[in-house]
Amino acid sequence: MCGIVGYVGDEQALPVLLDGMKKLEYRGYDSSGVAVINVQSVVSTTGQTTMTVERKAGRIGELLDELDGTTIEGRIGIGHTRWATHGAPTDGNAHPHRDCTGDIAVVHNGIIENHDVLRQRLISEGHTFVSETDTEVAVHLIESIIESKGCSLREAVLEAVSILEGAFALVCISVHEPDRIIVARQEPPIIVGASATAGLVGSDIPALLAYTRDVIPLDNRQIAEVMRGSVRVWGFDGVEVEPETVHVEWDMDAAEKGGFEDFMLKEIYEQPEAVRNTMRGRIDGSGRVTLDEVSWTVDEIKAIDKIVVVACGTSFHAGMAAKHSIEHWTRIPVELDLASEFRYRDPVLNSRSLVMGIGQSGETADTLAAMSFAREMGTKVLAITNVVGSSMTREADAVLFTHAGPEIGVAATKTFLAQLVAANIFALYLAQERGTMYGDKLTETVEAMRRLPEQIEETLLVQDSVLQAAKRYADARDFIFIGRGVGNAVALEGALKLKEITYIHAEGYAAGELKHGPIALIEDGVPVVAILTGEPLYEKMLSNVEEVRARGADTILIAHEGDERARALANELFEVPTTKPLLSPILDVIPLQMLSYFIAKEKGLPPDKPRNLAKSVTVE
Ligand code: AGP
C-alpha cells in the first residue's frame, strides 16, 4: 500500500509534505520519511549533496519527534508513509531511498518483482545498497542510466520503467533538476495536480485536496513531469498525451475513504487489488509456484507428515477452507485448531509436523502463544500474515506476507481473501514440490487463481441485490448460515461478520448438521443464508435449502450465475462467477461481507468500529 506525497512550489515543502503524509497515514504506518532539496545551496560543481533526508521507523509522530521542530529549508520535496513489503520496518528501510551520490531520491508504492536480479546487476556495476528494500534498486537503476546516457531524470525514469517488473508508483527528485518531480505509474494509483503556485503529487486525493480540487489520476503506464503550475504526461512509449483532469467535490473525510462512506466498504472494494498483490511474484510465466520466502529443501517438504493450522476468528475460517485444499492437493493430513485451544489439548507434534499460524495483524496473543508452543515442540512453523515486522513473523521459520495493504475496518475483509489466496498458493507449492498433483491439474488451478481478481470485480456487482436484501432483513432477530465443504467455512465467516458489526444473533453451521439440532430454530421468516456453489455437494445443499423452506425460512442463496434451480428456491439470490470449487470461498464470501455492512448501515451502526472489538487482540 504506502502513501506518497510530493510538492514543488512557492511554499516551504516540509510542512506540506508532513500534512499530506498525515492524511495518508491510513495507507501505511510502519515508517515515514521525507527528502527536501534546498535550491539555494546547490553546489553542483563539487558534487556536494544538497538534499536533506529524514526517515524514521514507526508512525509519523516518530518522524515529527525526530525533526523536533527543526525546519528543513526547501521548496521541493517528496514524502512517504510505508507499509512494509520487502525489508523490516526499520529506519534504514524507510523511504525515500537515494542513489550512491545522494543526488536522486525515490519513494515507491508497490512491489518490484525483479529486484533481486537488478540488485545483483547494479552491485556488480559498483553500486552500494544500504537497505533491504526492493525500492532501492529503482533509484540505483535511474542513477546508472543517467551516468551512462547523460540524460534527464524524466528520460532515465522512462527507460527504468521498461526494465522494472511488477507494480510501482514511483516518485523521484534530483538536485540537478530542482524544479520538477517525475512520477511513474504501473498499477498502484498515483495522482498529480498543479495550482498557479505549486505542483503536487499524492497516492490519494486527500494529500492534494488542500491545494487543488483539479487532479489528474495518472493512467496505468504513464509518466508525469510535475512543476509549479504545470503537469505534462507521457505514455511509457514516450508519446506525450493530454492529461485528463478530474474535479473533486469530496470533503476531507470522504476523500480519506476514497469516496466510500466507511473503510470497511472501501476495503471490500479493494479486494481485487489485494488478491493481485498476494499473488504477485509467486506464480511465474510458466505457471510454477515460486515461494522465495520458504527455504525448506524438497526433502524437508516431502518429510512433512502433518500440518496443524492455528488461528482465531476470521483467520481461523481461512484456515478451515485451506484445510480442504491442502489435503486434496497434497494428501498431507491437516488439523485445524482455534489458537486459544491448541496449547491446552496436549497436541501430538514432532519435527515432521508443520504448524501454520494465520493472522492478519500478526499480533493476536492466542496465535502467537500457539506458534511459540509449536516452536518449543521442535516443529516447523509457517506464518501467514499481513503485517511485516509483526510479532508473528518472529515466531516463524518462514513467513508468507499477504500484501493486502493496511486494513482499518475492524471487520476483516480484504485480509481474509488475501489469506485464502496465500494459503492456497502454499498448498499448490507443497503439491508441486511433493509431486502430488498432475502437471495439467496444477496449471489449470494456477490459471483459475489468475482469473480471480477479475472475478472478484465481477462479484462486487452484486451490491444492488445485497442492498435490497439488507433492507428486507435488517430487523431480523436471528440469521442462520449453512454450507458444506469449503462452503462451511464461508457460512461461519458470514455469520461472524454479521454478528460482529450488526449485533444480530447469527449461527454458522455445516448444512448436514442442521437436522441434528439447529433446525429447531427455523420458523416463519427466519433468514437462512446458504452457499450453493460447491460442486460435489450441490444436490445435498439444495435438499437442505428445501428442508428449511418447508419449515418457513426465507432463503438467501449464494449460487453460480445462471443457476435456475437456485433462483426457484431463493427469496434473495446473490450470483457469483464460477471458479474451481476449492477456490470458491474467495468469491462466495463477498456478498456476505456486503450483507453485514449494509445491514449495519440500515441499523445506523458504525461498521468500522463495532462495540467491544479491537483490530488486534493482544490479550489471551
Ligand atoms: C474479524 O472480522 C475479526 N475482527 C476477528 O475475528 C479477527 O479475525 C481475529 O481477532 C483474529 O485476528 P488476526 O487475524 O489479526 O489474528
The CATH number linked to 534 is: 3.40.50.10490
pLDDT band at 251 (very low <50, low <70, confident <90, very high): confident
Q: Which ligand 1 atom is the nearest neighbour of the CA of 412?
A: 2
Q: Does 59 share its domain with 139?
A: yes
What type of residue is 278?
T
Closest to 595 in 3D by CA, of 430, 464, 437? 464
Q: Specify the ligand 1 atom closest to the Cα of 367.
A: 16
Within a domain: 90: yes
> Candidates 360, 402, 597: which one to mutate for ligand 1, based on the most atoms within 8 Å of Cβ?
360
**Which of 450, 470, 496 marks a domain boundary?**
450
**What average pLDDT does the segment 400-422 reach?**
94
Q: Residue 412 above 70 pLDDT? A: yes
Considering all CA atoms of the chain, what is the largest pairwise distance in Å, rounded to the nearest integer?
87
Q: Whose CA is nearest to atom 13 of ligand 1?
A: 359
Residue 478 lies in a domain: yes
Which position has the grid cell 526499520?
90
Local structure of 399: helix, strand or coil: strand
Helix (H, G, I), strand (E, B) or coil at 206: helix
Ligand 1: atom nearest CA of 497 is 2
482 and 576 fall within a common domain: yes
Q: How many of the other CB atoms lie within 10 Å of CB of 169?
A: 22
Ligand 1 centroid–CA 317 distance in Å is 10
Ligand 1 pocket, mutate which of 263, 364, 395, 492 (most atoms under 8 A from CB): 364
pLDDT in tens, 442-473: 999 999 999 999 999 999 999 999 999 999 99
Average pLDDT over residues 38-56: 69
Mean pLDDT of 27-34: 87
**What gap in Å lies between CA 447 and CA 469, rounded to an integer?**
33
7 and 133 in a single domain? The answer is yes
pLDDT score recorded for residue 24: 85
Give the chain's mean pLDDT: 93
DSSP H or E stretch at residue 555: strand 554-560
pLDDT confidence of residue 568: 97
Ligand 1, atom 3: closest residue by C-alpha: 411
492 Cα–ligand 1 center, Å? 13
DSSP lists the bridge partners of residue 217 as 191
* Ligand 1 shell residues, CB under 6 Å: 312-315, 359-361, 364, 367, 410-412, 500, 613, 616-617
Buried b (16+ CB within 10 A) or exposed e, 530-549: bbbbbeebbeebbebbebbb
| Ligand 1 centroid from CA 181, angstroms | 40
Closest-lying ligand 1 atom to the alpha carbon of residue 613:
4
Q: d(Cα 613, Cα 256) in Å, to the nearest integer?
A: 23
pLDDT of residue 209: 86
Q: How many A from CA of 58 to the centre of ligand 1?
A: 23
Does 62 share its domain with 128?
A: yes
| Whole-number pLDDT of residue 375 | 93
Q: Name which residue sits closest to atom 12 of ligand 1, judged by CA.
A: 359
Counting atoms of ligand 1 from 1, which one is nearest the CA of 311? 16
Q: If you take atom 6 of ligand 1, which residue's CA is the nearest one? A: 313
Substitution site in 263, 315, 419 for ligand 1 pocket (most atoms within 8 Å of beta carbon): 315
Same domain, 499 and 424: no
For residue 535, the model assigns a pLDDT of 74
Is 480 in the same domain as 566?
yes
Helix (H, G, I), strand (E, B) or coil at 405: coil
pLDDT exceeds 90 at position 204: no
Phi, psi (rounded to 5 degrees) for 553: -65, 150
- Position 42 pLDDT exceeds 60: no
Domain membership of residue 191 (yes or no) is yes
Range of the domain at 539: 459-602
561-573 as b/e: b if 16+ CB within 10 A: eebeebeebbbbb
**Closest atom of ligand 1 to CA, residue 339:** 16
The number of helices, as runs of H, and strands, as runs of E, in the chain is 21, 25
Beta bridge partners of 531: 558
Boundary of a domain, candidates 243, 259, 275: 259
- Ordered strands of the 31-37 beta sheet: 51-57, 31-37, 76-82, 3-9, 198-202, 191-194, 214-217, 246-247
Provide the grid cell at 256: 480519506
Residue 610 lies in a domain: no
Cα 576 to middle of ligand 1, angstroms? 25
Question: Is residue 29 domain-shared with residue 172, that is, in the same domain?
Answer: yes
- For residue 398, being part of any structural domain is answered with yes
pLDDT for 46 equals 52
Q: What is the pLDDT of residues 562-604, one digit of tens each?
A: 999 999 999 999 999 999 999 999 999 999 999 999 999 999 9
Which residue among 417, 617, 618, 620 is best mutated to probe the pocket of ligand 1, counting the most ligand atoms within 8 A of its Cβ? 617
Determine the pLDDT at residue 43.
47
**pLDDT the model gives residue 389:** 73
Please identify, among 423, 450, 477, the residue that sits at the C-terminal boundary of a domain. 450
* β-bridge partners, 306: 353
Per-residue pLDDT band at 421 (split at 50, 70, 90): very high
Torsion sign, CA atoms 346, 350, 354, 355: positive
Query: Which spans in 353-407 are helix H?
Result: 365-376, 391-394
Cβ-Cβ contacts under 8 Å for 297 (sequence gap 6 or more): none
- 424 and 319, same structural domain? yes
- State how far the Cα of 467 lies from the Cα of 465, in Å rounded to an integer: 5
- Residues 564 and 512: beta-carbon distance below 8 Å: no
Residue 221 CB neighbours (<10 A): 14
**For residues 401, 405, 411 and 415, what is the CA-based torsion angle, rounded to 10 degrees?**
-30
The protein residue with its alpha carbon nearest to ligand 1, atom 9, reads 313
Let me know: does 392 contact 287? Beta carbons within 8 Å.
no
Cα dihedral 593, 594, 600, 604 in deg (nearest 10): 150
| Total domain count, the chain | 3
Task: Compute the distance from residue 153 Cα to the ligand 1 centre, in Å.
Answer: 45
pLDDT for res 257? 85
Distance 210 CA to ligand 1 centre (A): 36
Q: Is residue 615 part of a domain?
A: no
Q: Is residue 608 part of a domain?
A: no
Q: Nearest-CA neighbor of 424 among 531, 351, 320?
A: 320
Atom of ligand 1 nearest to the CA of 313: 6
Question: Is residue 269's pLDDT more than 90?
Answer: yes
Pick from 36-45, 90-99, 377-386, 417-426: least confident: 36-45
Q: Are residues 290 and 252 in the same domain?
A: no
Q: Is residue 395 part of a domain?
A: yes
End-to-end CA distance of the chain: 30
pLDDT category of residue 41 using cuts at 50, 70 and 90: very low
Which residues does 459 contact at the CB level (< 8 Å), separation at least 6?
Answer: 576, 577, 587, 590, 591
From ligand 1's centre to the CA of 311, what distance in Å?
9
Q: Are residues 426 and 532 in the same domain?
A: no
In this structure, which residue's CA is closest to atom 5 in ligand 1?
A: 313
CA dihedral 411, 415, 421, 427 (to 10 degrees): -90
Active-site positions read 2, 615
Question: Which positions ≥6 away from 521 have C-beta within 8 Å?
Answer: 478, 480, 507
Question: Residue whose CA is closest, atom 4 of ligand 1?
Answer: 411
Check whether residue 23 and residue 138 sit in a common domain: yes
Confidence of residue 368 (pLDDT cuts 50, 70, 90): very high
Query: What band does 483 get if pLDDT is binned at 50, 70 and 90?
Result: very high
C-alpha cell at 548: 428449511
Banded model confidence at residue 16, pLDDT cuts 50, 70, 90: very high
How many whole angstroms from 182 Cα to the centroid of ligand 1? 40
Name the grid cell of 26. Answer: 491510513
Quick check: 348 pLDDT over 90? yes
Q: Are 136 and 163 in contact (CB under 8 A)?
A: no
Q: Are residues 443 and 495 in the same domain?
A: no
